[in-house]
Structure 1
Amino acid sequence: MMKLTRQRLLASTLFMGSALVGSSALAQTAPQTPETVTQTQDPAQPDDQSPGSDIVVTGTLIRNPNLVSATPVTSIGSDEIALRQSNVAEQLLRETPGVASSIGSSTNNGNGGASFVDLRGLGQNRNIVLLNSARIVPANLNGAVDLNNIPLALLDRVDILTGGASTTYGADAVSGVVNFITKRDFSGIDLNVSEQITDRGDGNVFRADLAVGANFDDGRGNAVLALGYQQADPVFFGGSRERSNLTIDSFDGSGSGASQTAVPSRFSVSGVGNRNIDPATGQLVPVFALFNFNPYNIFQTPFERFNMYSAARYQVSDAVEVYSEGLYSQNTVQTIIAPSGTFSTPLLVPINNPFLPAAAGQTLCQNNIDLDPTAAGILRPTAAQCIAARNTALAPGDAGYLEAPTNVSRRLVEAGGRISSYRTELFNFKAGFRGDVAQGISYDVYGAYGRSTNTQTILNYVYTDRVQQGLRAANTTTCRDTSNGCVPVNIFGAAGSITPDQVNYLLVPATSGNRSSLAQVHGVLNAELGHLGASQPVSVAVGSEYRKYTAEVFADLLAQDPGALGGAGGATVPVTGGYDVIEGFGEIVAPLIADQPFFQSLTAEAGVRYSKYKIDAAGSPSFDAWTYKGGLTWEPVRSLKLRGNYQRAVRAPNIGELFTPNAVGLVNLRNDPCQGAAPVTNANLRAVCIAQGAPAGQIGAIDPPSAGQINGNFIYSTNNRPEKADTYTFGAVFAPDFIRNLTISADYYNIKIRDALSTPAVGDLIAACFGNLTAASATSTACTSIRRDPATGGLDGDPSTTPGVPQTLTNSGRLQTDGIDVVANYRTDLTADVRLGLSFNANYVLNSKFRATSGGLNRECAGYYSINCSLTGSILPEFTFNQRTTLSFGDIDLSLLWRHLSSTKQEPFDADSSNFGANGPAFAAFRKIDAFNYFDMTIRANVTDNFELTLTGTNITDKKPPTVGSNIGVTTFNSGNTFPATYDAIGRRYAVGARVRF
């Protein structure tokens, strides 16, 4: 009696813990092996399966332990996860064939403090992430789920279904779903502790997970609580990773630095372009030194996470089982990039500034000042007037006091790198009940609510208003305006000229972030309707679901001010939005024939879902969507199964695509057609550049975009409509009787998305205006929609004055991808004590087409890199595979993982490779990346019945990443002269893990 009481008390405690923190699940099982497998055979009934609970296969609502879905599902089992010793779910997924690299631990500049998955390279907003087959709260306005919050302590497997899953999980599952499935009915104690470090002694990662669970009341109930902690150190560019020491230009191979900022400062001089101050002479010279931003950046972001996961269930009767599941996570991600400063910031420089060298002041005075801006033409000061203006006693309003307007580019190296700290707090709770109404009829009803808050605090950013205030100095110690604790600022000298007190005055922190919530109610009824000629009955599932999404962006006044913070990339504009969706759905699986010649089995399946969306905005249209599927599985003989599936998917615009206000941000371009001398000799090009806002005096002196980035004017609309997609999969599963434990599957997939929501590709915009220089029109909309910096003529500059290129989100995009997935597994006993396990998981992309707008180029992006390919800018190699070989000697496993990525090339129609004016293709050595092979070795030993030790070496050959320069792709993924989210930029590293189980 005392024992039963203690069990019930423990269960009650854990059940309440679940109720306090989070979201629920349905039991699922799949083959669990040390290799990546595909769900191709009937899953086995587990020993700990609770009475009355059915098995749910990812990709269908039908709960039937004998079901084989017509849609292929790839699973990564818990043993594979343990062998890799991956510390974040995102890394585990991006190393899986068929998954494109997305934002995660290896992306720095552009990382918003979250990690995402991108199936098939179709965008992180076109797949659904599930926890135990249920949605969890998104991380942002775009509806993507942050993988940093996935609990790893109790993870049993990860199912990846691509090719559409809209009728099962929702209309927005265009490219598929990723389903993280935790262990069910866990009982005991499981403690995991691991430590990882690189071969160079940096990048330490510590992780600890504890799971405690118990069954009670003779197995009628179970409760489990899992706690996790993780801490990761940064890995900086440079040092022993010599390929990233210097910022290399992708288009000429030079290592002079790709940023147009500098130390000492650069100033725009009317008629001659940007000029550097020579600290030796005080004169403005064409180019003194461009800034090398690489050493400040990182390959691995600092990360700290605390999380708690709990689940509980109790079988009240055969008809009712109550359950709950909870998730709480708190994590902090930091990004570190090169110092802030003034990035072509328009400022007024007093000619009598006490730090301004006389020669530089004279140049600015005689070239930049207009003594009568209201009159036609430009009235420049005389040399004598400029000399007189250097009188330090003159103050604003005095006769002879002059200020020169100029765009200033100066890195505040004295402050160190810019730091963005993203703190995310997420909870997700779900509770429900399920059971059997009668023989062959079951139900499941649950409600769930989740909320996520991501708060960004940015440090070491220059407040440009204070730069202006500090320039208006009475002397070297006193500002004319002494408010804000003003300190005179010396932006004219070499590194160190800005003193610590000046730094402290210039730096002002700012805060912004986003909140999102998801409330949902879900109910489904499963029933068996009898037989159609096979031994298995026809199974159906019908149900309904309601979801309410809300999201907002918040920002303090400083973060909302465009151009206020040097290098912040534009203003953070507050957003509030949401929508409701009500759905009804049904599925049927009908075994038609069984145990007949050439028809060992023939099963048909079909499904339909109706979705009604209501947008939370006055005057915004509501819309509905029908999604449906049909599939067939045929087993002509026992060893061969053929399967096919068609699905119609519809993705409604997310909150970000509907409600984001217009704002200027950053896009990528290295070669500006108006830069350099090209417009001087081409009158038509000159006219176009001037029509776009470039001053006539700057023609011939326009610089390339700084760091390969230009401004983009992003425009959204609540009138955007849903996308439509057709997905097909056809495949076969071969499990020959004559070779036991061998399974091979091959599946073809084809996904076509129409009316895709996308912004114009920069390459399309440049080609539309400049593609034919002899026909380019200074009055065409294609040209005049591009707006330049009014001082320098560049496409980069202060976001408050330089809109850049139009980035209007519309339904005029189109995406299409098709390819082949192959999965093979084999196991055998070599001797009585030695076992061999082999697995192979491969993806070959036949096509990956992306057309950003109706008039844009239909680009082939499989195996290419550029600023235009895919919606994210990451690389999708044509052929990738993972092959694992495991030898088991008693209690010791020796395992080798071989990861292959085929060669890739610069996209032929990359805007930066087109011959616009004097600009040409990339540096020859950077136009192709050869095939890459990585090898990871793991040794795992069961030291005792309760203690397991795992040693893993990742990239054991220390394969160096490819070098392509710093500006051949999108900044988020092209970093450190390579693509660190696709190729291993950290190098060889080691991990040791210890596991204790009771």
Structure 2
Amino acid sequence: MQSLTPKRLALAVHAVLLLSLPALCLAQEQSEATTLDTVTVTGSRIKKAELEDQVPVQTVTREDIDRTGLTSIADVVQALTASGSALNTKFNSSGNFGFPPDGSGVGAGSAQVDLRHLGSRRVLVLVDGMRWVNEASASGVGAAVDLNTIPLAIVERIEVLEDGASALYGSDAIAGVVNIITRRNFDGASVSLQYGEYAEGDGATTKADFAWGRNGERSNLFLGASYTEQEPVRSADRAQARFPVPGTGVAFGSSGTPTGRFIFRNPNTGVTHDLTPNNGASNPIYNPTQTGCTRTDSYHCFATADRFNFSPFNLVLTPSERAGLFGQFRLDISDNTSFYARGLYNRRKSTNQAAPEPIFLGLSAGTGNPRADNIFISRLNPFNPFGFDLDARLSTPAAQRNLFLIGRRPVEGGPRIFNQDVDTWYLGTGLEGRFEVGERTWFWDANLAYSENQAEQTNYGSYDIRNIALALGDPAACAAVTGCTPLNLFGGPGTLTPAMLAFIQPVVRDESENTLLQATANISGDLVELWAGPLSFAGGIEHRRYEGFYQPDALTVAGFYNGVPSRPTSGEYDVSEVYTEFSLPLFVDSPLGKRLDLSLAGRYSDYSTFGGEFTGKLGLRWQLVDELLFRATYAEGFRAPTIGELFGSASRFDAVLADPCSEPLRDPTLLGNCRTLGAPAGYSQPNPQISVTTGGNRDLEPETADSFSMGMVWSPSVLENSAIAERVDLEVTFYRHWIDGGIQAVDAQTQLNLCVATLDPRFCSGITRASTGAINSFSNRLTNLSTIKTDGWDVDLFWTFPDSDLGKFKVSWRNTFVGRYEARGAAGVRQPLRPGVEVNNSSIPEWTSNFVTDWARNNWSAAWTIRHIDEVRETCRTTAFPVCSDPTLNRNVLEATTYHDLQVGYKFDWMRGLQLTAGVNNVADEDPPICLTCSLNGYDASTYDIPGGRFWYVRADLRF
């Protein structure tokens, strides 16, 4: 695989330039110059046209959105070439995903945005220039915005600032800013109806939007309503998703099986067994005299073929239902002052589904729950076939503890269902105005907004470990408790009766909430006239208050929940800020160029949690000639730790990890270290999922960052209104981000590998093993440990062709090349994620590209979009299967993937316009490349379309 090199970048730039050469030759006689068009965009607080293209801003228009056929903001922005891996509805992210170290929860059903592969927490999301509330995931206190809380129907355009902007906007803007501009000047009404589904007949999406607006002489009113329903796609209906790792059968399945896996030592013979009942053995008989694997009783030794395939129970696309109402009113109080008020309510109902919840018990279970890890099963239990106690209690002498693992998956209880109900409220109001000072105009605004995101999650199909322990213990103790029925975990499917399930299977309800109160005031204008123009200024103050909590079910808080345990989290903090921005013209109409402007910005933030922080930004905008602009920025940035990161209590997530001490050892030189750590001879990792305990840290400091960008915008006048072009724009931007003190936990696999390789307490502290060698505890907490360095290039071409008999053609070609991504954690150890690599359900392709061709003729329109994702590689989880493409290097290559989307439309001259549109995304039905290290469904859901991803849709838009 070829890495990004200056040569490769040069080839890309040359490819763009070569498209221009014929036109340059044909139009070289043209000499009339024109100035670059500008639009008001995110990136400066100064209201001045000359500064609007100083920073790289990508604007996604309403037409761009409609062309995609997508029904959520997140899907639109995640398709941008600068976007990284982020949650979306293709992540079936409940079940064993557990609780991440940042305390944000699993984010089930939410959809986020990541820029430059720096994480969703480092992207600031604004709506009409005001911060949007972070999500409440019902499993934590979120650190990022759920874009599914903002209806796509209310969006006029989306402005994406691909540059650090903490000096202008405060915390979280390290990687950039997404500013969602809502519809405002809308006169009349419109209805939009869309229906689509996958070619397999599933995943149907229905969308209905209504908009109404009225523009008066001094007032403006807009009302919008939106409803979207997305039906599921089940893993069982996609061949690629039917096994934990495609092409490996059940090799990576679970030890928790419907028949049960039993690892124990017979106290009478001293023999350790690893057994599972024969199929159909509902009342298995154990013969203690048979000490090996050649048996004639009801058991055989557990083998790979006995593992459970949990994949068919999962979802490839999660169902989601979203309904939103939005209103915005503006009134001109006078010629110089206006009042506005806007409000939004949005409800999201979504569902995740996982396989029936396994019950793991014993010393090697590693659940982190002492009631499961230290279980006692009485010999008097009427279903215990072994005739002796199975004891894993810490109070029992170590030599007498004989239960290492029971893995039983009660399929009788059905799959785990996680239903989320998420409500979002937003109320904002303010005044805007202008006034004159001499001949200069000043602009001002004052704003107040309150937003709230509240989530509830109801979990069906989990178990109460306290009642499980009681029902497995002494039957006399069970009989003394109302409803207790002795439990049969020893027979096969169907041996759990309704009475047994009724006692051990509760309904679990969790909730969380995030609120944001913000008040801002801004002013902008020209201070004085200087030698090259006015010195422009913007300044303002801002105050924000954040509050959030996560309250798990009382069963979970008490430690009785058999699933992923968690603890309550709550916290609050406030911040007061002041900022200034200056634009200083250095020269105009000089031999050195047409114009050179220097911009300076600074912001001081005072946090109640850690104190003050100052960030600055410096920018240069050099208009060499009318058609050629150079720009550069340097910015300091920071991100304050969030409520979950600061106050998150100890929780757990189940990571898919490969234990280096599992035999046969991949590295035989580690044998001595493994013995030192407590892995005995013959140890084999019993379960690929290892429970990792995680949580917040009140001593965290803010992340700090340095960002640099440099680029050019060229609109050659020789091409404008020429025979082959109406207009051509070429933009090239180099970006670099350097984050220090990044808030994260050490990558769990990296920590485990370093522990085994070095025996260093920095890595081994918190990792313990049972007497069998299995890891039974793994602590992985947040700290300011990482540095991240990333850089790359954006190369974009926009070509509008002249009108012809064939119609009007426009082409846009956007490319992002990632040159470096280097993250280092504890002791400077480099983390595995880097360009061209797939790790932990996310990847950084070295090259991503979107090529869009638009065509219009009379009432007809059409669009063809090509989405290209460069190849990435991953480590094979095993080289024993052909699905590993390069076993010699223990590497699997995820081949380059290209998707083609087509759309055609016709506009009728009826009322104010009826537009009928039909389209197909992923026309060629390109399946995503098989991912061996991804957690679910055999592919990276943050990067690729789903398997069997040909999606067709039809839409009708009526204006009246």
Query: If the length of structure 1 is used for normalisation, what is the TM-score?
Result: 0.82
What secondary structure sits across from 1:99 in the alignment? coil
Which one of the candidate residues 119, 125, 133 is aligned to 1:129?
125
- After TM superposition, the structure 1 stretch with the greater mean CA deviation from structure 2, 488-497 or 546-555, is 488-497
**Structure 2 residue 941 is matched with structure 1 residue 959:** no
Deviation, structure 1 residue 672: 4.1
Deviation, structure 1 residue 825: 1.0
Contact 2:376 2:392 survives alignment (8 Å): no
1:139 — aligned with what? 135
Which one of the candidate residues 59, 63, 70 is aligned to 1:75?
59
**Structure 2 residue 937 is matched with structure 1 residue 976:** yes
Cα distance change, pair 374–991 in 1 and its aligned pair in 2 (3 A): closer
Counterpart-to-counterpart distance in 2, 1:923 and 1:262: 33
1:262 — aligned with what? 257
2:341 — aligned with what? 324
Counterpart-to-counterpart distance in 1, 2:890 and 2:896: 15
What secondary structure sits across from 1:768 in the alignment? helix
Deviation, structure 1 residue 408: 1.9
Deviation, structure 1 residue 505: 3.4
Counterpart-to-counterpart distance in 1, 2:737 and 2:676: 40
Deviation, structure 1 residue 783: 3.2
What secondary structure sits across from 1:468 in the alignment? helix
Which one of the candidate residues 540, 551, 556 is aligned to 1:554?
551
The aligned amino acid for 1:839 is S
Contact 2:43 2:52 survives alignment (8 Å): no
2:7 — aligned with what? none
1:410 — aligned with what? 408
Contact 1:677 1:701 survives alignment (8 Å): no
2:706 — aligned with what? 726
Map Cα deviations across residues 416-461 of structure 1 (whole Å, 9 max, x no partner).
2211111111111110001112241121001111111111111111
1:387 — aligned with what? none
Cα distance change, pair 937–371 in 1 and its aligned pair in 2 (3 A): closer
**Structure 2 residue 767 is matched with structure 1 residue 786:** yes
What secondary structure sits across from 1:485 in the alignment? coil
Deviation, structure 1 residue 701: 3.6
Deviation, structure 1 residue 143: 3.1
Deviation, structure 1 residue 86: 1.0
Which one of the candidate residues 693, 703, 707 is aligned to 2:685?
703
Matches within 5 A, 1:630-779: 630-675=618-663, 684-690=672-678, 699-706=681-688, 709-740=689-720, 741-771=727-757, 776=759
Counterpart-to-counterpart distance in 2, 1:645 and 1:581: 26
Cα distance change, pair 405–481 in 1 and its aligned pair in 2 (3 A): farther
Deviation, structure 1 residue 71: 1.1
**Structure 2 residue 800 is matched with structure 1 residue 827:** yes
Deviation, structure 1 residue 379: 5.9
Counterpart-to-counterpart distance in 2, 1:371 and 1:603: 73
1:43 — aligned with what? 38
**Structure 2 residue 851 is matched with structure 1 residue 880:** no
Deviation, structure 1 residue 586: 0.6
What secondary structure sits across from 2:646 in the alignment? helix
Contact 2:184 2:221 survives alignment (8 Å): no
Structure 1 segments unaligned to the other structure (5+ residues): 1-39, 45-55, 381-403, 616-621, 796-801, 868-872
Contact 1:822 1:843 survives alignment (8 Å): yes
Matches within 5 A, 1:486-635: 486-534=484-532, 537-562=534-559, 564-566=560-562, 568-569=563-564, 571-615=565-609, 622-635=610-623
Cα distance change, pair 370–737 in 1 and its aligned pair in 2 (3 A): closer
Contact 1:420 1:457 survives alignment (8 Å): yes
Counterpart-to-counterpart distance in 1, 2:621 and 2:666: 62
The aligned amino acid for 2:376 is L
Deviation, structure 1 residue 471: 3.0
Contact 1:733 1:743 survives alignment (8 Å): yes
Counterpart-to-counterpart distance in 1, 2:868 and 2:582: 39
Deviation, structure 1 residue 717: 2.0
Contact 2:376 2:391 survives alignment (8 Å): no
The aligned amino acid for 1:600 is K
1:803 — aligned with what? 777
Matches within 5 A, 1:430-449: 430-438=428-436, 439-449=440-450
What secondary structure sits across from 1:716 in the alignment? coil
Contact 2:822 2:830 survives alignment (8 Å): no
1:461 — aligned with what? 462
Deviation, structure 1 residue 541: 0.5
What secondary structure sits across from 2:768 in the alignment? coil
Map Cα deviations across residues 577-628 of structure 1 (whole Å, 9 max, x no partner).
111111000111233333444522222211110101002xxxxxx3211111
Counterpart-to-counterpart distance in 2, 1:650 and 1:678: 41
Deviation, structure 1 residue 242: 1.1
Cα distance change, pair 508–445 in 1 and its aligned pair in 2 (3 A): same
Counterpart-to-counterpart distance in 2, 1:682 and 1:443: 67
Contact 2:264 2:403 survives alignment (8 Å): no
Contact 2:886 2:893 survives alignment (8 Å): no
**Structure 2 residue 80 is matched with structure 1 residue 106:** no
- After TM superposition, the structure 1 stretch with the greater mean CA deviation from structure 2, 887-896 or 596-605, is 596-605
**Structure 2 residue 308 is matched with structure 1 residue 311:** no
1:398 — aligned with what? none
1:904 — aligned with what? 872
Q: CA RMSD in A?
A: 2.8
- After TM superposition, the structure 1 stretch with the greater mean CA deviation from structure 2, 590-599 or 650-659, is 590-599
Deviation, structure 1 residue 904: 0.2
The aligned amino acid for 1:155 is V
The aligned amino acid for 2:931 is V
Give % identity.
Answer: 26
Contact 2:543 2:576 survives alignment (8 Å): yes
Counterpart-to-counterpart distance in 1, 2:469 and 2:478: 11
Deviation, structure 1 residue 352: 3.8
Cα distance change, pair 499–320 in 1 and its aligned pair in 2 (3 A): same
Counterpart-to-counterpart distance in 2, 1:263 and 1:921: 35
1:862 — aligned with what? 835
1:177 — aligned with what? 177
Deviation, structure 1 residue 824: 1.4
Counterpart-to-counterpart distance in 2, 1:194 and 1:318: 42
Structure 2 segments unaligned to the other structure (5+ residues): 1-34, 98-106, 266-270, 282-296, 366-371, 721-726
2:204 — aligned with what? 204
Counterpart-to-counterpart distance in 2, 1:983 and 1:608: 39
2:959 — aligned with what? 997
Cα distance change, pair 116–321 in 1 and its aligned pair in 2 (3 A): same
Deviation, structure 1 residue 963: 1.4
Cα distance change, pair 484–849 in 1 and its aligned pair in 2 (3 A): farther
**Structure 2 residue 810 is matched with structure 1 residue 815:** no
Deviation, structure 1 residue 499: 3.2
Deviation, structure 1 residue 834: 0.5
The aligned amino acid for 1:996 is L
Deviation, structure 1 residue 791: 6.3
1:286 — aligned with what? 302
Matches within 5 A, 1:264-413: 264-270=259-265, 272=272, 274-279=274-279, 280=281, 281-283=297-299, 285-287=301-303, 289-343=306-360, 344=365, 345-346=372-373, 347-357=375-385, 361-362=386-387, 378=399, 405-413=403-411
Counterpart-to-counterpart distance in 1, 2:500 and 2:392: 30
Query: If the length of structure 2 is used for normalisation, what is the TM-score?
Result: 0.85
